[in-house]
Structure 1
Amino acid sequence: MSSREPSALADPAVSEPEAAPAAWGPVAALQRFASWVPIRSLARRHRRRINDHLLALTERDRYLRFGYPASDEQISRYANSLDFERDEVFGIFNRRLQLVAMAHLAYEPAPQRAGKPAMAEFGVSVLPSARGRGFGARLFEHAALHARNRGIETMFIHALSENAPMLKIARNAGATVERDGSESEAWLRLPPDSVSSHVGEAIERHLAELDFQFKRHARVLGDLIDGVAEVKSNYDSAGKAAKQ
């Protein structure tokens, strides 16, 4: 569901979710790096890519992502309203530099629950062509690490109850999931930040930037080679025509 319009929790008396220590230990850290995916922070200059990514979602995917069948106009309005100064937006690019998966981590200035610290709300979308690779789970883990390093105690997800993949990601991360009819809410209690969590995030950020630059240069080189091949083909065709 849209992370820019977080809904108030239905029941402020719900018990505080417990932390999941196993999800943050050294073994889990090694597993994350073993299945590493280059996740890059997005900025204002990526609005067009974000808009194109969301517009490429099917009608069903839009419904699950935003909680309603978002039109092209509503999606463009959402993409243009993203506040990159306040929130964090992360993306995964393929070799053609197409944004195939993205996550929005919204930081709310006011607590969503009375007497509790403010939470960060998470929303994610993955193109059908990129499904089955664990991109949603990796974006969730990356967002949790980012929020943890900024002093956020809890990550929050508001999703349709029928959005089984999103709720499965939350449960697998150790989140507490509460269902209320057609909608569900999940809370993941984050441990305090540490030197290793900051180092881990810095390494992932650096590697993701290197990966993006490599893909960008590879694309430029590929376009150059294709251009040379096209010129050569046209030249050969012109030569053959002149001989006839």
Structure 2
Amino acid sequence: MNTRTATSPAEPGPAARYRWLPVRSLAQRHRPRILSHLLALKDGDRYLRFGYAASDSQIGRYVDGIDFVHDEVFGIFNRRLELVALAHLAMLSPVPGQPRSAEFGVSVLDKARGRGFGARLFEHAVLHARNRGVSTLVIHALSENTAMLKIARNAGAVVERSGSEAEARLKLPPEDLISNMEQLLGRQAGEIDYRLKVHARQVNALLDGLSSVKTFFSTTGRGARE
């Protein structure tokens, strides 16, 4: 699966850059959420993400073709449980005699820019790639996608430009005990964060319902007295 290129995530400010963000792993059951996220991208963001002005039907075919068995997909949810940032780590076909490689693609909704989501998902993907024996992480991006290329350069990637396109390659260290523990803890933290957001939504919905009932009885009671 070709993730092609990454939507330009705005460069995070000092506060966002060092703030840890929980990331949740996504599965086949999340295809509708992934589709909704990608369809919500503006035209310019679709162009940066896919390398062309992707139509709704083309995005739908891309989502249907995601291989959740071999690839990994991650997301960041806001408090309303909206998928605001999405990353696809696609395992590239093995080449005999060559180290294993994977391709990284990311998209961030316009309203969620400037919070370090793109950089956080890149960091998360690097960790997972290492632990799956990937030696090289590849990013295909348009040359104008300076924010994504900067994230790659800051991680130590070598960037080569060819006209309107650029390719970044990042050599990854082998997995170790620490990287595996980080992945395990990160996965658990992402799930806990999501469940807490679900619970908060349920509590808010209950409180809103009770408030509506209280308002109803207050209004009808006053009317009866009158």
TM-score, length basis structure 2? 0.90
CA distance in 2, matches of 1:72, 1:230: 39
Partner of 1:130: 112
Q: Does 1:38 align with 2:22?
A: yes
Q: How big is each residue's C-alpha offset from its partner over 1:92-114, in whole Å with a ceiling of 9 and x where there is no partner?
A: 01111110101000012333xx7
Q: How big is each residue's C-alpha offset from its partner over 1:36-85, in whole Å with a ceiling of 9 and x where there is no partner?
A: 11001001111111111111110000000000111111112211221111
Residues 81, 198 of structure 2: 8 Å contact kept: yes
Q: Does 1:91 align with 2:75?
A: yes
Q: Does 1:77 align with 2:61?
A: yes
State the identity as a percent. Answer: 59
CA distance in 1, matches of 2:78, 2:116: 14
Partner of 1:165: 147
Q: Does 1:152 align with 2:134?
A: yes
1:1-244 to 2 correspondences below 5 Å: 4-5=1-2, 35-111=19-95, 115-244=97-226
Give 3-state SS (helix, strand or coil) of 1:234's partner: helix
- Superposition RMSD on alpha carbons, in Å? 1.7
CA distance in 2, matches of 1:74, 1:243: 62
Give 3-state SS (helix, strand or coil) of 2:219's partner: helix
Residues 140, 168 of structure 2: 8 Å contact kept: yes
CA distance in 2, matches of 1:224, 1:87: 38
CA distance in 2, matches of 1:201, 1:115: 28
CA distance in 1, matches of 2:117, 2:166: 21
With over 3 angstroms needed to count, the CA separation of the structure-2 counterparts of 1:153 and 1:225, relative to structure 1, is same
Q: For structure 1, which runs of at least 5 residues remain unmatched after alignment?
A: 8-32
CA distance in 2, matches of 1:84, 1:45: 10
Q: How big is each residue's C-alpha offset from its partner over 1:97-153, in whole Å with a ceiling of 9 and x where there is no partner?
A: 110101000012333xx7422310000000111111111011001000000011100
Residues 100, 133 of structure 2: 8 Å contact kept: no
4+ residue runs of structure 1 moved beyond 4 angstroms?
none
Partner of 1:11: none
Aligned pair count? 215
Give 3-state SS (helix, strand or coil) of 2:89's partner: strand
TM-score, length basis structure 1? 0.84
With over 3 angstroms needed to count, the CA separation of the structure-2 counterparts of 1:92 and 1:6, relative to structure 1, is closer
Letter in 2 for 1:221: V
State the Cα distance separating 1:201 from its structure 2 match. Answer: 1.1
State the Cα distance separating 1:227 from its structure 2 match. Answer: 1.1
Give 3-state SS (helix, strand or coil) of 1:179's partner: strand
Q: How big is each residue's C-alpha offset from its partner over 1:170-229, in whole Å with a ceiling of 9 and x where there is no partner?
A: 111110000000000010000011001111111111111111111111111111111111
CA distance in 1, matches of 2:84, 2:152: 20
CA distance in 2, matches of 1:40, 1:231: 36
Task: Identify which range, 223-232 or 121-130, moves more after superposition.
Answer: 223-232
Q: For structure 2, which runs of at least 5 residues remain unmatched after alignment?
A: 5-16
